[in-house]
């Protein structure tokens, strides 16, 4: 019996997965075949989408980069003639073209992603789904559950890295008639999509994790605060909740015990700051999403003033595995203080962008060079940016750094929720800092003086720098403001907003200095600082550049050296790209 | 449960405090440090946004916001060090970098002497010319002269010109100065110090310095090289611009105004004296203001030895002593004011033709454009782009003409004037008889040739310190043109003043203190102010200065500009757009900016720009000034539950806006103005009914609001004399009073009616016929009144006279009024229309507790478990009480029950709204009492009360089903109400609005009294009844006995002992006079022939004419010409409550003293009016002061004596009046009460704390 699974997470859809899916259905119908075509979640290899898994009688074959026009051949040759199309297969029992990508990975959170149909609770149950929560309800007391989670060493995967077990304990302690569980699915870092993939690919494991947490702290109601920009995740979550309710996994007397639990979905309107727990709570309460001072912490006074436990998607998704496999199994992975695995979204100038779940303790170089296949286009690896707008960059020179909460923090970056952007020699660090600061500046709620105006002023300085209008003292001013913003802001957004600037200054100060003193961008990225000129000894007078130039800045007769008028040049770079003789120089 | 105290260490000191407090609270409580904050208001929940209050906590890397961080046991806190100060400073700098606002008008800032132009324009607009002059002279002692010759940097900066043209600021100044031309106004002068100052140079700078120093008490001598004082004003400005007499008068005034300034003329420094000799002669310090009188050279060959060539400055210098004669063509070289002055003067000296030669174009001429215009009007030919290159002269060295070359202008760098370049071959000749060189002046250095230690600049100017004007010689100062080079008169005045300040400090301390310039925000420092931003102002053309016609003026030296007319001076100020912030003195942002010496230049960048919203009638919103502290939003939401304001947008664009970004008026806004009061900047300000007086300091004067009976403390901010506005009590005083600074719309904005122009100021009498009311003197009006009343008494007896008072009057007025009726007129016809019209239930509780008044205080609401409000629409009538109830709900979950037939704002917030039918509240309360009795939930001590069984019997029929049916409420609501009332051991505060004519019905209040008695709430501290009333002294009017029913102190007709005691005090046989009277009936029957109405206007309702049908003589005393006053035979103008001292009794028995805010406009305080009138009947009305009246009240009124305790404590703060009536003496013949006929026999000691 054969089965076809098409990767239909957002990455798959974006690559055209839906048309491939439809094409398979059409072909199967036309050929009167009785083969199910199912959806599945993200398999991590976003760079290789559309991914199609064809399970035949013997084994599973993973097809990569499938387009609708390739579907017919797969159906005829592989399905009908049992002759796998090896050209397109990247993995089966004999082929493993992508072993570098998967070899160093260890999948706990993503254990079901790309394997099961996320729309099917039976698929989840078939892979030991909801066994963990039943085990807890029947075999463990809440204290024991908390002990296991504490012992596992699981730390908050949302970025804070606080001990999950301890957090649960804090929420368990207060006596209250009502307690809440909140799942923070307001993933907002630019370039990060770990939570989205987990929700799209395996919503049930998140629900199960929440159920276990609820049982542990004594909550009977939960909210999943998910971004409205994740429509597929919302759809799959709603579907999963409905299935649970139908099976009695949610509602009154869950699994026949005294445990009552319901989960509601709350769609966030896309404010980044609502990822901050107090702002998130305010938002669920229908108020303006603005952080408030802590203490009191949500564990004491949270949603509607009741003790509340908030964890993010990835944290909850780890929990069922820990319960089933034991705290020790989890704690055996990783470093002394950072246990288990971490999912990273690899993006940027890397050859293979995608999702990778790696054991803690792996080095940055291993992730970039082995899993990610190195830098695209053979350029030089310069740095990684971790933790999104709250994080910072780690230079390539520290590539041997182990993935570990505390080690990363020491560099000035943070582990964050798992965004990992790889930068090469063409990335301007000032521009990078500007990009992230622009993001936080726009996403600041506007409450605290330093975050509201301070980040704006820093951004203006960076703007100045990239426009070639930097002046002496700007770096010092950035450092001073950055330090003050970190010190005097109420929530994590403000406290970390200057990190991208501070770390880039720390590791790439000379780049800043070049912008200010020489009015040059060493990465040749800041347009305003570029100068294009034609090298007379290389110019053949082919006229191509002159014809491409949109502002007629280049003049010259055929077979004569061309001239570029700097006063007209708008630095679009078309001439540089057009020249076949490397006669256009960019400095 | 008492929680244990915690210990924290602050700046090394261990402090013990209760847990749960914030660090800021602990620091301020223990007075360890004054931590600055902008976003914190201790009446609302901590927020933490401005980050000015940051402190260090040991063990924490980050700074923490002390306003919202709880102090924890063992915390080690540091509130002040370099890191903290630096962070606070940056916070302020960041806030100010996005504060697109003007602290003061750019006109003030651009004036070198910083004369408060916006302030005096505002004062002129109010007709306060003397005050305007005083304000001007604080900065500039020569307004008569400067008002004529100033270069008007103020007008250059005036924002009005973006709309049309600048305000005519200078001429307005001249207008007020001209009004005081006889120089009557005198400044304050400090006593003599014995210090001597030598001022060298008697020009504007020297005169100014002398003026301010003499006011400080120093002895000044001016040394002047020429024969007259005035410097360039005297010798450089021609008569037709500044008449010598005007200048001389102004100089003479300065010389005589203080300790007298000595003058030595015709003495030159460097020749007759030097610095050393001055110091030897006993001068303690020297101010050098020698000016710049040396003409600059034209650099033409033979310019020094050709006949017919003059120098502008020398030419003009001759004028004070005689008019030089000229003829033919006169050519002037130069483009400044001296050139124009020389040209226009030459015309008046007999020249046939006058030409000006200038090397740039008209636009670049430094002369004032109005002067250029006047010169052209007078026929002067200005040849621009022309440069003289050589002189043509005859063999006798007599001038014949000059050769000129045409110029063209070359573009120059931004900020610089275009450079003139000769056009080759364009030479031409000008034939002329005289050539006057007027291209500039320089300092004549003859004065300094002996002064080796005096450092000079390259151009010969004296080198002086920018801040102190001290020269290179200690104790020697210099200023004016001598330092600046030839510059403006106003800049010289500014120097003179600056030097005076430094010299004064030097003389007192031995050092000239350096002052930092205060921080001032200006819009133009951020970006150019656009026309669009000011588009809401309509275009209003500028006034034109009346001038002498050209034909008339060119033949004489008469002053050309004639001065604005009074109409123009009233019109022009209306054009002022009031740039300067009304919160200048109160703006916490500006004040803190000065504390931290901020500098925003590093952070200048994008700034928010919003148009100012002035659409609300009372509130102006300027989001440009908002610092996002959210105090307004939080006050509006948390305290008032109104939510008219909120935040919009995120990040840098986040700002406070009215809900849904509608105009504020279209939101739920109730115009209470509490947002304005809490705003730490000028983002929310009051929309004043007058021009903003930005930098005039405000005087704070505390008072008690006169609108309702709650008795809120308010603060009159008096800008000047009778110009004021009201705000909350000042910082620190907020917790001193039950309203904690919060006010309602009436209290905040209502008092402005007192500034109305339509006040009655003189007595009026009806002279007979149809002439109506005519003005009369006090004596005549009072005599006439006395005569008329006596005639009526003679004719009909004293019972035909009635005196009516108002519940808005003070205790003292009311006391005197009833004493006037009883002791003076010998009648008990004393009362109030408010009582006659709405007095139902006024005595409802007399039978229960001896008198009808509140038993709980406003502060008890804070601790109540249940508040029941009957008949009240608190949102409209007593907002502050509503706020207190809401606060109690928030703080301790106090439940609120509203009993009101119709929906009111508060019904939305009430925990239970009993919408009983009108007139059924007695049934409702009876029903509750029945249930309480049935369930045995009655206060045990009161069960033995007489009448209990009867009450039980009479309430028995009110079974729940009946109550529900009769009152028309749902059973659920009734059950809920019962459940809450039945809860044992709780504190209930019952609020009853006695002045609600629509809702209440007879016996409601009695039933409420019975209910509270039954539940023990009347005897319990912190619970009981609050009776709210309409007017400020509704309670006092009864306490003072302005009713036929009581003598002062609720003395009733059967209390013979008290009646006797009071009668003795008044020297009157009260027994015969004080007897029950139905005043309403007597009025209706026409038995009252003479009616004396004080402070009431019954005829505003025409139906009330029925009460006046028998009246033959009507006296009305009121502030305004009311409908009743229009009918009166005599009208006495009354003083307003802010024009006189007095005390008022709030609804909860709090007697509060109020001091007057200003002098009575009508010329007499009201108590004095009553006393004078009463004195015409009874000689004993001879109080010499209001205190004498108060003293008598304490003596006569048994409560106000308070068993010798009085109404006020030692600090003069109000105390609640304790009252204790021995009800055993009460008359059992009292009219029976519905269910409590016999209760009066019980001893109810109702005691207010």
Q: How many CB atoms within 10 Å of residue A376? A: 16
DSSP string of B242-279, one letter each residue: S-HHHHHHHHHHHHHHSS--EEE-S--BTTTB-HHHHH
Whether residue A295 has a cis bond before it, omega within 30° of 0 = yes
Within an 8 Å CB–CB cutoff, is residue A448 touching chain B?
A: yes
Asked if A446's CB is within 8 angstroms of B654's CB, the reply is yes
B-chain CB neighbours of A278 within 8 Å are none
What's the mean pLDDT in B157-174? 95
How far apart CA A117 and CA A134 sit, in angstroms, is 22
Distance (Å) from the alpha carbon of B651 to chain A's nearest alpha carbon: 4
> Which pLDDT value is given to residue A587?
84
Asked if B98's CB is within 8 angstroms of A446's CB, the reply is no
> Which pLDDT value is given to residue B1138?
93
Q: How far is CA B64 from CA A451, A487, B663, in A?
A: 15, 8, 37
How far apart CA B1022 and CA A412 sit, in angstroms, is 59
Cα angle, residue B873 at apex, residues B870 and B878 outer, rounded to 5°: 100
Would you say residue B1211 has pLDDT above 70?
no
**β-sheet bridge partners, residue B429:** B403
How far apart CA A541 and CA B526 sit, in angstroms, is 50
Would you say residue B1197 has pLDDT above 90?
no
Would you say residue B343 has pLDDT above 70?
yes
The H or E element that residue A139 is part of is helix A131-139
A-chain CB neighbours of B81 within 8 Å are none
Asked if residue A474 lies in contact with residue A467, where contact means CB atoms within 8 angstroms, the answer is: no
Within an 8 Å CB–CB cutoff, is residue B1232 touching chain A?
A: no
Which of B651, B654, B659 is most worth mutating to test chain A (most A CB atoms within 10 A of its CB)? B651
The predicted-structure confidence for B413-457, as pLDDT tens digits, reads as follows 777 888 999 999 999 999 999 999 999 888 888 888 888 899 998
Q: Which residues of B, range 436-495, sit inside 8 Å of A by Cβ?
A: none
A324-349 burial, b at 16+ Cβ within 10 Å, e below that, comes to eeebeebeebbbeebbbbbbbbbbbb
How far apart CA B177 and CA B133 sit, in angstroms, is 6
Three-class SS state of B1025: strand
Closest residue by Cα to residue B864 from B911, B905, B903, B907: B911
Q: % helix / strand / coil in chain B, to the nearest 5?
A: 35, 15, 50
Helices (H), B61-190: 82-96, 106-110, 117-125, 129-137, 143-149, 153-157, 160-163, 169-179
Burial of B863 (0-12, 13-18, 19+ CB in 10 A): middle
Q: How far is CA B970 from CA B965, B966, B967, in A?
A: 8, 11, 9
Asked if residue A554 lies in contact with residue A564, where contact means CB atoms within 8 angstroms, the answer is: yes
> Which pLDDT value is given to residue B1219?
45
Within an 8 Å CB–CB cutoff, is residue A460 touching chain B?
A: yes
How far apart CA B955 and CA B432 sit, in angstroms, is 117
- What's the N-to-C CA distance of chain A in angstroms? 61
The predicted-structure confidence for B475-488, as pLDDT tens digits, reads as follows 999 999 999 988 89
What the block records as the tokens of B1165 is: 């305080």
Confidence band, pLDDT 50/70/90 cuts, at residue B1149? confident
> Which pLDDT value is given to residue B1215?
47
Whether residue A296 has a cis bond before it, omega within 30° of 0 = yes
> Which pLDDT value is given to residue B1098?
94
Cα angle, residue B1140 at apex, residues B1139 and B1141 outer, rounded to 5°: 145
As a whole number, the mean pLDDT across chain B is 89
The predicted-structure confidence for A415-431, as pLDDT tens digits, reads as follows 988 889 999 999 999 99
CB-based contacts of B199, cutoff 8 Å, min separation 6: B206, B209, B210, B220, B221, B222, B223, B286, B287, B289
Within an 8 Å CB–CB cutoff, is residue A566 touching chain B?
A: no
Q: Which residue does chain B place closest to A271, by CA atoms?
A: B650
Q: Which range among A4-8, A306-310, B240-244, B658-662 shows the weakest confidence by mean pLDDT? A: B658-662
The predicted-structure confidence for A447-506, as pLDDT tens digits, reads as follows 999 999 999 999 999 999 999 999 999 999 999 999 999 999 998 899 999 999 999 999
- What's the N-to-C CA distance of chain B in angstroms? 25
How far apart CA B749 and CA B755 sit, in angstroms, is 12
Distance (Å) from the alpha carbon of B607 to chain A's nearest alpha carbon: 10
The H or E element that residue A564 is part of is strand A563-564
Q: Which range among B114-128, B147-161, B179-193, B792-806 shows the weakest confidence by mean pLDDT? A: B179-193
Closest residue by Cα to residue B451 from B595, B580, B278: B278
Q: How far is CA B1234 from CA B730, B967, B1008, in A?
A: 48, 19, 12
Q: Which range among A339-348, B508-517, B569-578, B632-641 shows the weakest confidence by mean pLDDT? A: B508-517
How far apart CA B524 and CA B101 sit, in angstroms, is 9
Would you say residue B1222 has pLDDT above 50?
no
Asked if B69's CB is within 8 angstroms of A449's CB, the reply is no
A-chain CB neighbours of B95 within 8 Å are 449, 453
> Which pLDDT value is given to residue B1238?
29
Would you say residue B75 has pLDDT above 70?
yes
Confidence band, pLDDT 50/70/90 cuts, at residue B770? low
Asked if residue A421 lies in contact with residue A500, where contact means CB atoms within 8 angstroms, the answer is: no
A-chain CB neighbours of B68 within 8 Å are 293
Would you say residue B22 has pLDDT above 50?
yes
Closest residue by Cα to residue B764 from B1120, B522, B437: B1120
Would you say residue A538 has pLDDT above 60?
yes
User: Which backbone phi and psi does B296 adopt, to 5 degrees?
Assistant: -85, 150
Asked if residue B27 lies in contact with residue B8, where contact means CB atoms within 8 angstroms, the answer is: no
Q: How many CB atoms within 10 Å of residue A410? A: 11
Three-class SS state of B1174: helix
Q: How far is CA B1179 from CA A52, B823, B1059, B1060, in A?
A: 115, 10, 21, 20
How far apart CA B129 and CA B122 sit, in angstroms, is 10
What's the mean pLDDT in B937-944? 71
Closest residue by Cα to residue A550 from A532, A535, A537, A524: A532
Would you say residue B1116 has pLDDT above 90?
yes
Within an 8 Å CB–CB cutoff, is residue A449 touching chain B?
A: yes
User: Which backbone phi and psi does B900 adopt, to 5 degrees?
Assistant: -160, 135
Confidence band, pLDDT 50/70/90 cuts, at residue B1220? very low
> Which pLDDT value is given to residue B941?
67
Confidence band, pLDDT 50/70/90 cuts, at residue B829? very high
Closest residue by Cα to residue B318 from B436, B207, B439: B436
Asked if B61's CB is within 8 angstroms of A446's CB, the reply is no
> Which pLDDT value is given to residue B736?
62
Residue pointed to by tokens 């001209």:
B178
Share of residues in chain B with pLDDT > 70 (%): 94
As a whole number, the mean pLDDT across chain A is 92
Pairing of strands A37-40, B329-333: unpaired
Q: Which residue does chain A place closest to B89, by CA atoms?
A: A484
Confidence band, pLDDT 50/70/90 cuts, at residue B1239? very low
Q: How crowded is the C-beta side of B1015, counted as CA atoms within 13 Å?
A: 30
What the block records as the tokens of B776 is: 């009369």
Asked if B63's CB is within 8 angstroms of A488's CB, the reply is yes
Would you say residue B1230 has pLDDT above 60?
no
Structure ipTM: 0.89
CB-based contacts of B1162, cutoff 8 Å, min separation 6: B759, B760, B761, B762, B1119, B1133, B1134, B1135, B1139
Q: B940 vs B189, which has greater pLDDT?
A: B189
**β-sheet bridge partners, residue B200:** B223, B288
Of B68, B70, B97, Cβ closest to residue A457: B97
> Which pLDDT value is given to residue B1218?
43
> Which pLDDT value is given to residue B954?
81
Checking phi first, is residue B641 left (phi over 0); if not, alpha (psi -120 to 50) or beta?
left
The predicted-structure confidence for B941-966, as pLDDT tens digits, reads as follows 666 566 677 778 888 888 999 999 98
Asked if A487's CB is within 8 angstroms of B63's CB, the reply is yes
What's the mean pLDDT in A569-585? 91
Would you say residue B1233 has pLDDT above 60?
no
The predicted-structure confidence for B77-101, as pLDDT tens digits, reads as follows 999 999 999 999 999 999 999 999 9
Of A295, A441, A490, Cβ closest to residue B651: A441
Q: Which residue does chain A place closest to B654, by CA atoms?
A: A446
Three-class SS state of B1099: helix
Asked if B94's CB is within 8 angstroms of A454's CB, the reply is yes
Residue pointed to by tokens 């600037």:
A501
What's the mean pLDDT in B524-553? 91
Closest residue by Cα to residue B619 from B649, B596, B642, B638: B642
Which of A271, A444, A453, A467 is most worth mutating to test chain B (most B CB atoms within 10 A of its CB)? A453
Say what the alpha-carbon torsion angle B667, B673, B678, B682 is, to the nearest 10 degrees: 90
Confidence band, pLDDT 50/70/90 cuts, at residue B1237? very low
Q: Which residue does chain B place closest to A437, by CA atoms?
A: B651
Q: A191 vs B60, which has greater pLDDT?
A: B60
How far apart CA B419 and CA A107 sit, in angstroms, is 78
Q: How many CB atoms within 10 Å of residue B1064? A: 11
Asked if B48's CB is within 8 angstroms of A448's CB, the reply is yes
What the block records as the tokens of A273 is: 């700051």
Confidence band, pLDDT 50/70/90 cuts, at residue B1217? very low
Tally of residues, chain B: 1249
Within an 8 Å CB–CB cutoff, is residue A271 touching chain B?
A: yes
The predicted-structure confidence for A20-67, as pLDDT tens digits, reads as follows 999 999 999 999 988 899 888 888 888 888 999 998 888 889 999 999
User: Which backbone phi and psi does A212 adopt, to 5 degrees?
Assistant: -65, -40
Closest residue by Cα to residue B1074 from B893, B823, B897: B823
What the block records as the tokens of B88 is: 């606070």
Burial of B410 (0-12, 13-18, 19+ CB in 10 A): exposed
Helices (H), B629-777: 631-634, 674-678, 745-749
């Amino acid at each position: 019996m054969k089965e076809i699974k098409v990767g239909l997470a957002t990455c798959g859809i974006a690559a055209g997965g839906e048309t491939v899916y439809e094409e398979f259905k059409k072909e199967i119908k036309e050929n009167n075949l009785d083969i199910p075509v199912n959806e599945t979640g993200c398999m991590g290899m976003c760079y290789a989408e559309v991914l199609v898994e064809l399970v035949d009688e013997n084994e599973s074959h993973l097809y990569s980069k499938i387009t609708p026009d390739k579907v017919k051949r797969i159906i005829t040759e592989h399905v009908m003639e049992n002759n796998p199309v090896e050209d397109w297969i990247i993995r089966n029992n004999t082929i493993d073209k992508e072993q570098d990508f998967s070899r160093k990975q260890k999948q706990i959170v993503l254990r079901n992603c790309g394997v099961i149909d996320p729309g099917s609770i039976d698929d989840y149950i078939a892979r030991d789904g909801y066994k963990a929560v039943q085990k807890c309800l029947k075999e463990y007391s809440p204290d024991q559950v908390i002990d296991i989670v504490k012992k596992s060493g699981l730390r908050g995967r949302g970025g804070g890295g606080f001990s999950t077990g301890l957090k649960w304990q804090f929420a368990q302690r207060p006596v209250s008639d009502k307690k809440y569980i909140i799942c923070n699915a307001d993933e907002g870092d630019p370039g990060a999509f770990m939570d989205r993939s987990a929700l799209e690919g395996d919503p049930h494991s998140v629900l199960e994790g929440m159920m276990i947490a609820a049982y542990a702290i004594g909550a009977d109601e939960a909210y999943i605060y998910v971004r409205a920009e994740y429509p597929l995740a919302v759809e799959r979550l709603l579907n999963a909740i409905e299935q649970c309710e139908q099976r009695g996994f949610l509602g009154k007397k869950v699994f026949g015990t005294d445990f009552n639990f319901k989960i509601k979905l709350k769609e966030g309107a896309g404010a980044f700051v609502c990822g901050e727990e107090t702002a998130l709570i305010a938002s669920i309460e229908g108020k303006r999403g603005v952080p408030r001072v802590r203490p009191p912490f949500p564990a004491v006074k949270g949603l509607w003033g009741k003790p509340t436990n908030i964890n993010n998607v990835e944290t909850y998704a780890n929990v069922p595995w820990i319960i089933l496999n034991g705290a020790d199994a989890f704690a055996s992975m990783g470093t002394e203080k950072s246990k288990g695995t971490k999912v990273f979204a690899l993006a940027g100038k890397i050859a293979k962008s995608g999702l990778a779940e790696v054991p803690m303790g792996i080095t940055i170089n291993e992730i970039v060079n082995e899993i990610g296949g190195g830098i695209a286009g053979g350029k030089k690896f310069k740095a990684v940016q971790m933790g999104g707008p709250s994080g910072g960059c780690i230079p390539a020179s520290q590539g041997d750094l182990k993935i570990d909460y505390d080690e990363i923090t020491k560099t000035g970056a943070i582990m964050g929720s798992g965004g990992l952007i790889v930068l090469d020699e063409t990335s301007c660090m000032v521009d990078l800092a500007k990009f992230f600061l622009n993001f936080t500046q726009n996403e600041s709620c506007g409450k605290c003086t330093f975050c509201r105006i301070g980040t704006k002023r820093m951004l203006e300085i960076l703007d100045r720098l990239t426009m070639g209008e930097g002046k002496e003292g700007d770096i010092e001013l950035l450092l001073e403001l950055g330090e003050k913003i970190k010190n005097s802001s109420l929530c994590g957004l403000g406290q970390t907003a200057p990190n991208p600037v501070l770390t880039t200054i720390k590791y790439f100060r000379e780049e800043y200095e070049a912008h200010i003193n020489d009015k040059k961008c060493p990465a040749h990225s800041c347009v305003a600082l570029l100068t294009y000129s034609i090298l007379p000894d290389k110019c053949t007078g082919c006229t191509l550049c002159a014809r491409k130039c949109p502002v007629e800045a280049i003049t010259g007769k055929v077979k004569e050296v061309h001239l570029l008028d700097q006063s007209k040049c708008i630095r679009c770079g078309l001439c540089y790209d057009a020249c076949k003789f490397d006669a256009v120089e960019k400095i | 449960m008492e929680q244990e105290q915690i210990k924290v260490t602050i700046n090394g000191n261990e402090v013990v405090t209760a847990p749960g407090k914030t660090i800021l609270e602990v620091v301020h409580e223990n007075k360890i440090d004054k931590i600055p904050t902008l976003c914190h208001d201790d009446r609302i929940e901590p927020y933490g946004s401005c980050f000015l209050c940051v402190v260090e906590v040991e063990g924490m890397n980050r700074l923490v916001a002390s306003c919202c961080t709880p102090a924890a046991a063992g915390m080690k806190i540091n509130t002040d060090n370099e890191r903290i100060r630096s962070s606070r400073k940056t916070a302020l700098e960041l806030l100010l970098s996005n504060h697109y606002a003007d602290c003061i008008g750019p006109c003030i800032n651009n004036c070198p002497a910083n004369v408060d132009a916006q302030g005096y324009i505002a004062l002129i607009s109010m007709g306060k010319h003397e005050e305007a002059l005083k304000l001007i002279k604080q900065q500039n002692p020569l307004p008569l002269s400067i008002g004529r010759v100033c270069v008007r940097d103020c007008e250059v900066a005036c924002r009005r010109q973006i709309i049309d043209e600048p305000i005519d600021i200078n001429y307005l100044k001249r207008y007020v100065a001209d009004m005081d031309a006889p120089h009557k106004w005198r400044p304050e002068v400090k006593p003599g110090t014995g210090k001597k100052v030598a001022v060298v140079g008697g020009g504007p700078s020297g005169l100014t310095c002398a003026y301010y120093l003499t006011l400080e008490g120093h002895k000044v001598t001016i040394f002047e090289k020429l024969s007259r004082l005035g410097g360039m004003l005297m010798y450089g400005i021609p008569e037709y611009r500044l008449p010598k007499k005007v200048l001389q008068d102004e100089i003479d005034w300065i010389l005589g105004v203080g300790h007298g300034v000595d003058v030595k003329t015709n003495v030159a420094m460097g020749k007759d004296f030097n610095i050393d000799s001055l110091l030897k002669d006993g001068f303690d310090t020297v101010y050098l203001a020698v000016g710049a009188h040396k003409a600059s050279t034209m650099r033409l060959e033979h310019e020094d030895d050709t006949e017919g060539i003059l120098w502008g400055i020398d030419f003009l210098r001759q004028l004070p002593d005689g008019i030089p004669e000229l003829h033919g063509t006169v050519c002037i070289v130069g483009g400044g004011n001296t050139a124009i002055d020389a040209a226009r003067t030459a015309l008046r000296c007999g020249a046939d033709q006058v030409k000006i030669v200038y090397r740039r174009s008209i636009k670049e001429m430094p002369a004032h454009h109005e002067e250029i215009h006047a010169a052209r009007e007078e026929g002067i030919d200005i040849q621009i782009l022309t440069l003289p290159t050589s002189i043509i002269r005859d063999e006798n060295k007599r001038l014949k003409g000059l050769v000129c070359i045409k110029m063209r202008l070359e573009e120059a760098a931004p900020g610089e004037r275009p450079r003139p370049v000769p056009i080759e071959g364009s030479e031409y000749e000008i034939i002329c008889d005289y050539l006057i060189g007027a291209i500039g002046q320089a300092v004549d250095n003859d004065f300094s040739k002996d002064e080796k230690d005096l450092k000079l600049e390259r151009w010969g100017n004296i080198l002086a310190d920018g801040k102190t004007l001290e020269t290179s010689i200690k104790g020697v100062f210099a200023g004016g043109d001598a330092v600046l080079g030839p510059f403006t008169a106003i800049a010289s005045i500014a120097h003179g003043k600056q030097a005076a300040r430094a010299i004064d400090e030097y003389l007192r301390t031995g050092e000239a203190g350096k002052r930092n310039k205060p921080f001032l925000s200006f819009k133009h420092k951020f970006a150019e102010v656009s026309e669009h931003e000011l588009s809401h102002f309509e275009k209003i053309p500028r006034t034109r200065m009346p001038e002498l016609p050209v034909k008339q003026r060119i033949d004489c030296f008469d002053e050309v500009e004639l001065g604005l007319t009074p109409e123009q001076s009233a019109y022009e100020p209306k054009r002022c757009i009031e740039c300067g912030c009304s919160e200048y003195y109160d703006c916490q942002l500006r004040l803190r900016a000065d504390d931290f010496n901020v500098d925003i230049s590093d952070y200048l960048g994008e700034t928010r720009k919003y148009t100012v919203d002035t659409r609300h009638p009372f509130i102006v919103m300027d989001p440009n000034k908002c610092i996002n502290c959210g105090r307004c939003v939080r006050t509006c939401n948390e305290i008032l539950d109104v939510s008219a304001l909120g935040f919009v947008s995120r990040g840098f664009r986040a700002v406070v806006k009215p809900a849904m970004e509608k105009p504020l008026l279209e939101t739920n806004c109730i115009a209470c103005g509490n947002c304005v009061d809490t705003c730490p900047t000028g983002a929310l300000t009051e929309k004043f009914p007058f021009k903003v007086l930005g930098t005039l300091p405000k005087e704070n004067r505390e008072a008690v609001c006169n609108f309702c009976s709650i008795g809120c403390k308010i603060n009159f901010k008096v800008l000047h004399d009778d110009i004021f506005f009201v705000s909350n009590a000042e910082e620190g005083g907020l917790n001193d009073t039950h309203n904690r600074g919060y006010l309602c719309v009436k209290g905040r904005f209502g008092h402005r009616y007192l500034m109305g122009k339509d006040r009655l100021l003189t007595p009026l009498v009806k002279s007979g016929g149809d002439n109506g009311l005519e003005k009369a003197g006090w004596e005549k009006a009072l005599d006439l009144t006395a005569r008329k009343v006596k005639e009526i008494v003679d004719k009909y007896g004293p019972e035909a006279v009635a005196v009516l008072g108002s519940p808005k009057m003070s205790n003292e007025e009311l006391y005197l009024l009833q004493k006037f009726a009883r002791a003076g007129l010998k009648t008990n016809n004393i009362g109030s229309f408010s009582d006659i019209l709405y007095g139902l239930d006024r005595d409802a509780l007399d039978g229960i507790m001896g008198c009808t008044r509140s038993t709980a205080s406003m502060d008890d609401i804070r601790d109540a478990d249940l508040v029941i409000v009957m008949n009240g629409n608190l949102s409209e009538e007593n907002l502050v009480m509503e706020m207190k109830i809401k606060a109690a709900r928030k703080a301790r979950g106090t439940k609120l029950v509203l009993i009101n037939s119709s929906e009111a704002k508060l019904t939305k917030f009430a925990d239970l709204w009993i919408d009983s039918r009108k007139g059924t509240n007695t049934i409702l309360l009876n029903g509750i009492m029945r249930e309480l009795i049935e369930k045995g939930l009655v206060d045990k001590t009161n069960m033995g009360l007489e009448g209990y069984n009867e009450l039980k019997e009479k309430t028995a029929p009110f079974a729940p089903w009946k109550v529900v049916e009769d009152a028309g409420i749902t059973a659920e609501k009734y059950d809920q109400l019962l459940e809450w009332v039945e809860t044992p051991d709780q504190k209930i505060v019952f609020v009853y609005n006695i002045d609600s004519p629509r809702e209440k019905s007879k016996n409601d209040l009695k039933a409420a009294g019975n209910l509270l008695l039954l539940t023990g709430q009347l005897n319990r501290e912190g619970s009981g009844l609050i009776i709210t009333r309409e007017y400020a002294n509704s309670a006092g009017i009864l306490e003072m006995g302005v009713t036929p029913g009581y003598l002062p102190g609720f003395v009733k007709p059967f209390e013979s002992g008290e009646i006797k005691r009071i009668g003795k005090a008044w020297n009157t046989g009260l027994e015969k006079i004080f007897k029950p009277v139905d005043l309403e009936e007597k009025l209706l029957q026409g038995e009252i022939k003479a009616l004396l109405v004080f402070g009431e206007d019954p005829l505003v309702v025409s139906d009330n004419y029925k009460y006046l049908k028998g009246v033959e003589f009507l006296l009305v005393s009121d502030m305004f010409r009311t409908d009743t006053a229009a009918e009166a035979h005599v009208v006495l103008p009354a003083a307003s409550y802010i024009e006189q001292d007095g005390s008022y009794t709030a609804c909860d028995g709090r007697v509060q003293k109020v001091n007057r805010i200003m002098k009575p406009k009508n010329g007499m305080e009201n108590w004095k009016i009553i006393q004078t009138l009463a004195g015409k009947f009874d000689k004993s009305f001879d109080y010499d002061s209001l205190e004498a009246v108060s003293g008598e009240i304490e003596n006569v009124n048994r409560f106000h004596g308070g068993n010798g305790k009085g109404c006020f404590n030692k600090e003069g703060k109000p105390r609640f009046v304790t009252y204790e009536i021995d009800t055993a003496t009460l008359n059992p013949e009292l009219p029976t009460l519905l269910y409590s006929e016999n209760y009066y026999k019980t001893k109810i000691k109702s005691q207010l704390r």
